[in-house]
Structure 1
């Protein structure tokens, strides 16, 4: 059993490196407290791998991955939009003094748990756990695969916390929101347009966050223009007239 745990741990840890779920863990660590993110990822990892070994070892059936991907994409899209919505709020002096955001919300654990769980269901790492469970003991595969995913997520969280200490909160919020939109698009394309190939999917997924980023730039530019002019058009104030033009 120890051999199975070590083998599965290594396979899943390597498979998670650079994977979408590890990048999600890093992104969540930029927004929420590291302990909340790690605990949610741990619960999600043991849950999704229990399903994987159950399906692979006992049932030998496949999950409706396209339907799951739809829910996962919707969750990531909502999280991304709400994150970007926060960046459009007026910036105060107190906010600018904070360098690293460790945002605390009541629903942070549930947000990370649901997003990570849905993202992992039907992912390549889940199928790897299924394959290992068909030839090895399900308990060892379950423990090893879960620990491998948690270790990879923990590494991403460590990077996120370290980087987040040196980056302004609003910039991190914008990057996090755009990344969530990117993951949402990638999840949908992975499920419904797998024939396009990895490179094409990665490039096409960037269209949604690029459009959102353009909208944010335009809105922020409009906001800065309004602030610079005091938000008042002198020609619109009753009893005032524009200054006359001087001609030579």
Structure 2
């Protein structure tokens, strides 16, 4: 291989690793304690962990691929300097908001997302299923030909809808717009797999040992560092 080709391969590998690392860290810091995390945790307490994991992780993997694809296409539709500026602004915005909300919540150590998810699930199908009212679930199963478990379907749809428009989805789009898209996709899927696996294996108990405020501060600092790096290093 000639020197120019070797440099190109090294740059490509470096871009992949950078994108994967950024995406992995961003997902871990933003998804632990997020709504999708507690959807998997609460549902896994009442249903098969494998089924809940399959549905929730499947939804997050699909969302990661779609988000990365949007980020990859954006520079081809909009001048790259504007997509770079938008991504940088997103990182600073999310980082600043996370820090502000976390610092304001001094003394409030309960996870607000957990209470919200439990309230929603108790008022929706999850409660109905637990109490033996399977009519709605069986209806969906008939529509799907009985091929998909109603719990898997619910875990997938609830997680997908909760993730749509979430900061991790928007941040994934921003990362993919300015970093190696394959690396961002791989890192995001691995990160979601780790977080979802943790959630179904006892996410509620794990969350009670962590401070929501501390996690929010760490996540805010990470987003601000990404924004600073994006500001100083242009592709």
With normalisation by structure 2, the TM-score equals 0.51
Alpha-carbon offset, residue 77 of structure 1: 5.4
Alignment-derived partner of residue 40 in structure 1: 55
2:223 aligned partner: none
Q: Which aligned pairs between 1:46-61 and structure 2 lie closer than 5 A?
A: 46-59=61-74
CA RMSD of aligned residues (A): 2.9
Match of 2:200 in 1: 157
Ranked by relative contact order (alpha carbons within 8 Å, sequence separation 6 or more), the top structure is 2
Match of 1:81 in 2: 124
Q: Distance in 2 between matches of 1:8 and 1:123?
A: 15
Structure 2 counterpart SS, 1:59: helix
Question: Displacement, 1:159?
Answer: 0.9
2:64–2:169 contact (8 Å) kept in structure 1: yes
Return 5+ residue gaps in structure 1 as ranges: 62-75, 90-104, 164-248
1:131 shift after superposition: 1.0
Aligned length: 135
Question: Is 1:30 matched with 2:73?
Answer: no
Q: Residue 112 of structure 1 corresponds to which residue in structure 2?
A: 155
Could you tell me whether the CA contact under 8 Å between 2:31 and 2:37 is conserved in 1?
Answer: yes
Distance 1:77 1:43, change over 3 A: same
The 1:58–1:77 alpha-carbon spacing in structure 2 relative to 1, beyond 3 Å, is same
Deviation, 1:79, is 7.5
- Residue 31 of structure 1 aligns to a residue in which SS? coil
Contact conserved, 1:41 with 1:150, CA < 8 A, in 2?
A: no
Gap regions ≥5 residues in structure 2: 1-15, 78-118, 133-147, 207-235
Runs of 4+ in 1 over 6 A off after TM superposition: none
Query: What do the CA deviations read for 1:14-52 (whole angstroms, capped 9, x no partner)?
Result: 111111111111111112111111112221121101111
Q: 1 or 2, which has the higher helix percentage?
A: 2
Rounded to whole Å, the distance in 1 between the matches of 2:73 and 2:122 is 35
Which has the larger displacement, 79-88 or 121-130?
79-88
CA distance in 2, matches of 1:4, 1:138: 7
